[in-house]
Amino acid sequence: MLTAAGALALACAAAAAQAAPLPAPARAEVDALLARLQTSGCQFNRNGSWYSGAEAKDHLLRKLDYLERKDMVKNAEQFIDLGAAASSSSGKAYMVKCGAAAAVESKAWLTAELKAIRAR
């Protein structure tokens, strides 16, 4: 017979088993992407408001944490697609604007940066 303490232990173990951090190589790529965004001098648009790269990094780290807790992300591309491309509340694409250049969708900007990271 399962005691209440045993049931609680099983429930906690099951919850912990569902949460899975990104594999180390993928986490290194995501960290490099977010560091580039933070130090780029570019602005990040989320739901009609512009934010600094540092603010964008903080926001995207919270989204990464959520995706990891739900075991929804296994690589940098999935992070970009599921967490860094659009608002989960409005569905609006995130945008990145660097200097006088036209704003581009964050998915395109981050994908190009990921390609550059992998090329080094």
Question: Could you read off the pLDDT of 42-61 as tens digits, one per residue?
Answer: 999 999 999 999 999 999 99
Mean pLDDT of 104-113: 98
Residue-range domain boundaries for the chain: 21-119
Q: What is the CA radius of gyration of the chain?
A: 17
Between CA 6 and CA 53 the distance in angstroms is 46
Query: Whole-number mean pLDDT of the chain?
Result: 89
Neighbours of 103 (CB within 10 A): 17
| Residue 2 confidence (pLDDT) | 46
pTM over 0.85: no
| Residue 18 confidence (pLDDT) | 60
pLDDT band at 20 (very low <50, low <70, confident <90, very high): confident
